[in-house]
């Protein structure tokens, strides 16, 4: 099991680097930190691509680490580490051109997966897992960009033995009183629908409040890092809470987050990853 407090400490460390939008000083510092967190992987690497933001070319990097398992199957776990350059939903209009601190949005999923990586190194009774930290996700409707540029690049180059049997993307899973949403786009792709349903059923069996679907409007159309993998025909699920009040504001800081939320998602991924082989295969079929 992951240590929720250690995962939360990773969230805080990222926040302390400052805003981490592509091309910022914090962006480069984040890459160095995350390379260190993935260094214990059996194989680690990065995918480099160049994008132009505000008429300036910026080198972006998807960082990844692969952890071999003793059981059949291959799973990709992903999250983005960049933060949004503009706090366009801030209640104070004067602050909407400030950068988002990104404790939850850009920090929580990375914190969870990098803490999970410690367990992946120690426990091999599971499928092979590739942890991927995507760059250049949070540019939707800024400078004419699409969302999830890094994930689009990564999905476009998957082929052969590198193609995963399933993908789970985690994003904004550190907010207080976590309550997950369901991306209804999965209904258009049966394997993704079954994977999503299976994760929520597993969360319900574990009595995780975040998986209860008890909030007023949990069903949403969501574009995120999971989208290009689903479009490529890979069973894909998204774990996210879009009703985080501090989303795209200058208040997205550790004070708005909770170790308990990270712990719930750690328990969910633990139960999914370390299930007996037949159970895992049924969930990704």
Domain 4-284: CATH superfamily is: Zn peptidases (3.40.630.10)
| DSSP for 33-92, written as a single string | HHHHHHTTSSEEEEEEEEEEETTEEEEEEEEEEEE--SSS-EEEEEEE----S--TT-SS
| DSSP for 244-265, written as a single string | -TTTTSTT-SGGGB-HHHHHHH
Contacting residues for 154 by C-beta, under 8 A, at least 6 apart? 47, 62, 78, 132, 134, 228
**Both tokens assigned to 14:** 């990222």
- Calculate the dihedral angle through the C-alpha atoms of 36, 13, 252, 86, rounding to the nearest 10 degrees: -50
* Cα dihedral across residues 191, 196, 199, 205: positive or negative: negative
Give the pLDDT confidence score for residue 161 in this predicted structure: 85
Using DSSP's 3-state secondary structure scheme, residue 24 falls into: coil
CA 7 distance to own-chain centroid: 14
Q: State the alpha helices, DSSP H only, in the chain.
A: 4-16, 25-38, 108-122, 149-156, 190-205, 227-231, 259-273, 277-284
How many Å apart are CA 193 and CA 54, to the nearest integer? Answer: 37
Q: Quick one: which of 48, 219, 2 has its CA closest to 150?
A: 48
Beta bridge partners of 101: none
Give the pLDDT confidence score for residue 153 in this predicted structure: 96
Q: Quick one: which of 184, 163, 180, 161 has its CA closest to 171?
A: 180
* Contact status, residue 104 vs residue 49, Cβ threshold 8 Å: no
Contacting residues for 248 by C-beta, under 8 A, at least 6 apart? 84, 86, 87, 88, 89, 90, 100, 105
Give the pLDDT confidence score for residue 280 in this predicted structure: 65
Distances (CA, A) of 198 to 1, 96, 209, 223, 284: 20, 39, 16, 21, 9
So where are the chain's domains?
Answer: 4-284
Pairing mode, strands 128-134 and 56-67: antiparallel
Give the pLDDT confidence score for residue 277 in this predicted structure: 64
* Cα dihedral across residues 225, 230, 236, 238: positive or negative: positive
* Contact status, residue 213 vs residue 199, Cβ threshold 8 Å: no
Per-residue confidence in pLDDT tens, the chain, 285 aa = 899 999 999 999 999 999 999 999 999 999 999 999 999 999 999 999 999 998 899 999 999 999 999 999 999 999 999 999 999 999 999 999 999 999 999 999 999 999 999 999 999 999 999 999 999 999 988 888 889 999 999 999 998 888 999 999 999 999 999 999 999 999 999 999 999 999 999 999 999 999 999 999 999 999 999 999 999 999 999 999 999 999 999 999 999 999 999 999 999 999 999 987 656 666 776
Give the pLDDT confidence score for residue 285 in this predicted structure: 67
* Cα dihedral across residues 90, 9, 13, 43: positive or negative: negative
**Both tokens assigned to 113:** 């997966």
């Amino acid at each position: 099991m992951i240590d929720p407090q250690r995962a939360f400490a990773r969230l805080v460390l990222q926040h302390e680097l400052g805003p981490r939008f592509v091309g910022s000083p914090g962006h480069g510092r984040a890459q160095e930190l995350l390379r260190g967190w993935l260094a214990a992987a059996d194989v680690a690497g990065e995918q480099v691509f160049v994008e132009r933001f505000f008429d300036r070319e910026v080198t972006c990097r998807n960082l990844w680490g692969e952890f071999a398992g003793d059981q059949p199957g291959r799973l990709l776990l992903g999250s983005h580490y960049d933060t949004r350059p503009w706090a366009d939903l801030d209640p104070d209009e004067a602050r909407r051109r400030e950068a988002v601190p990104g404790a939850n949005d850009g920090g929580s999923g990375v914190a969870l997966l990098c803490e999970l990586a410690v367990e992946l190194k120690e426990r091999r009774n599971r499928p092979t897992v590739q942890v991927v930290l995507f760059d250049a996700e949070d540019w939707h409707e800024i400078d004419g960009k699409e969302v999830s540029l890094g994930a689009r690049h990564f999905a476009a180059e998957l082929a052969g033995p590198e193609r995963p049997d399933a993908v789970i993307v985690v994003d904004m899973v550190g907010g207080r009183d976590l309550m997950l949403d369901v991306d209804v786009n999965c209904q258009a792709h049966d394997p993704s629908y079954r994977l999503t349903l299976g994760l929520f059923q597993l969360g319900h069996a574990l009595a995780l409040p975040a998986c209860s679907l008890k909030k007023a409007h949990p069903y949403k159309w969501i574009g995120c890092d999971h989208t290009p993998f689903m479009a490529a025909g890979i069973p894909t699920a998204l774990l996210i809470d879009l009703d985080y009040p501090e989303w795209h504001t200058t208040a997205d800081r550790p004070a708005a987050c909770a170790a308990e939320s990270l712990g719930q998602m750690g328990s969910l991924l633990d139960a999914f990853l370390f299930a007996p082989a037949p159970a895992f295969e049924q969930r990704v079929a």
